[in-house]
A and B are shown apart, each in its own frame.
Chain A
Amino acid sequence: MALFEVENVKIKGIAACLPSRVINTNDLELFSSKEAQLFIQNTGILKRHVSDGNVCASDLCFQAAENIIADLGWAKGDIDILIFVSQTSDYILPATSNLLQNRLGLTQDCFCLDISLGCSGYIYGLSLVSSLLQNNRFKKGLLLVGDTISTYTSKYDKSVYPLFGDAGTATAVEFDQLSDFKWLFDIGTDGSGSEAIKIKTGGARYRTNKNSFELESINLDDISIGKRSSVDLKLDGIDVFNFAIKKAPTSILNILKCASVSIEIVDYFFLHQANLFMNETIRKKIKVHKEKVPNSIQNFGNTNGASIPLTIVQAFNDLKATKDLRVIMCGFGVGLSWGSVFMDLEQSLITNMSTYHD
């Protein structure tokens, strides 16, 4: 485990942007009505916002960024960090953060970087942007985390297609000398689990060719669960589940131990939204009350790295915070990679939820 502290930073605002197209689980042709009912009961997913194929993660993040910049009244010339965390970049190259620097009208002095991480990406992104800010050389940072992972799934694959939704988020982070709350991160990687969630073809190892898009039947316990090609996302649910129910609680408890605080003082736990049953299992292992673990998977599905900020935006819209909150966020998944952070969220945190428009 890698534990480290960052100080003198604050999140000022978080915005989320969703594609306008909504797919209800009950309307999926892929499922019988009984399968849909079981799927909803276990994963919690009632509906998802899904890109029509024309909207990219960068578009969703762009709108979220414009909204939070406007809400905070930030001058674009003051923004000197732009981190884009995604596994659905616009192009193989150049980096999408570079395109967004121009599109958002940020200065040429801006530190721009793409990070290729999924479910753990928000925590890694926060650790990087806050580490850069804390020395007071940079003033304001935008952490853009989003994916249109649905575009990488086979619509004939029962084990993947119904799970994933699309979203883009923007988190505005600022240097704040007066902040007395040290953020504490716990970060980890286990690359031996890289096969558990993977898209094999399309990178430099396996370039796409004329056979890459051929659909192949997939079976689980000799039962057909659909078809996918080698450019589509595959997911081994059992491996991921075993990983998540071990690493997420361990990481959260590590942080509390290191911070020498009891779990009761944490107001909210924001977990990556992968599967409601998985998150309930994690919640029971750390022994906290349901009300302290807000879920958004019902409305959005698994949105990869965007799921934690999206859940925070939904929660802040629902609850009216009456004090600054002490929260733990925990992301875990593709890599395999995980990360947690213990931090504060100000009562005055500004949040913004929008639907994408051209």
Chain B
Amino acid sequence: MNREEFLKGFQEQFEDTDESLITFQTKYKDLEEWSSMMALIIIAFIDENYSKSLSGDDFKNSTTIEELYQILIKNK
């Protein structure tokens, strides 16, 4: 999966957060718009575009978007 496309897709899931605030270094759970529902929206985005899954533990074990991306490319 393409890194830049992934980041762009990730940014697009947020309605009220400026995309400049969402980079690979962003601690996504610190974003004001982040919520448990946002986690589901991200899961659906990943499922639709990459046919991959993110578990609750994947969110627990990642802080930045880079870390989430690294988990994702290892996931089946």
Interface size on B, residues (CB 8 A): 18
Given that A238-B56, A281-B47 are contacting pairs, would A38 and B35 also be in contact in the complex, using a CB cutoff of 8 Å?
yes
Q: Report yes or no: A277 in contact with B37, Cβ–Cβ below 8 A.
A: yes
Contacts of B7 in A (CB 8 A): none
Asked if A278 is at the interface of the complex by the 8 Å CB criterion, the answer is yes
Q: Report yes or no: A238 in contact with B39, Cβ–Cβ below 8 A.
A: yes
Q: Report yes or no: B36 in contact with A242, Cβ–Cβ below 8 A.
A: no
Q: How far is B36's CA from A39's CA once the two chains are assembled, in angstroms?
A: 10
Contact with A along B50-72 (1 / 0, CB 8 A): 00011110011000000000000
Q: Which residue of B lies closest to A41 (CB)?
A: B37
Minimum CB–CB distance from A32 to chain B (whole Å) comes to: 12
Q: Report yes or no: B59 in contact with A238, Cβ–Cβ below 8 A.
A: yes
Minimum CB–CB distance from B27 to chain A (whole Å) comes to: 11
Contacts of A275 in B (CB 8 A): 40
Q: Report yes or no: B40 in contact with A277, Cβ–Cβ below 8 A.
A: yes
Judged by DSSP, the binding face of B is helix
Minimum CB–CB distance from B60 to chain A (whole Å) comes to: 8
Contact with B along A156-168 (1 / 0, CB 8 A): 0001000000000
Minimum CB–CB distance from B49 to chain A (whole Å) comes to: 12
Asked if B48 is at the interface of the complex by the 8 Å CB criterion, the answer is yes
Q: Report yes or no: B37 in contact with A38, Cβ–Cβ below 8 A.
A: yes
Contacts of A281 in B (CB 8 A): 44, 47-48
Asked if B41 is at the interface of the complex by the 8 Å CB criterion, the answer is yes
Q: Report yes or no: B43 in contact with A238, Cβ–Cβ below 8 A.
A: yes
Q: Report yes or no: A277 in contact with B36, Cβ–Cβ below 8 A.
A: no
Q: How far is B43's CA from A236's CA once the two chains are assembled, in angstroms?
A: 14
Q: Report yes or no: B43 in contact with A241, Cβ–Cβ below 8 A.
A: yes
Q: Report yes or no: B37 in contact with A236, Cβ–Cβ below 8 A.
A: no
- Contacts beyond the supplied A242-B53, A281-B48: 19 A-B pairs with Cβ under 8 Å: A38-B37, A39-B37, A221-B29, A221-B59, A221-B60, A238-B40, A238-B43, A238-B55, A238-B56, A239-B55, A241-B43, A241-B44, A242-B54, A245-B43, A245-B44, A275-B40, A277-B44, A278-B40, A281-B47
Chain A residues proximal to chain B, CB less than 8 Å: 38-39, 42-43, 159, 220-221, 225, 236-239, 241-242, 245-246, 275, 277-278, 281, 284-285
Listed by A's residue number, 10 A-B pairs whose Cβ atoms lie within 8 Å are A38-B35, A42-B37, A238-B39, A238-B55, A238-B59, A242-B53, A277-B41, A278-B40, A281-B44, A284-B48
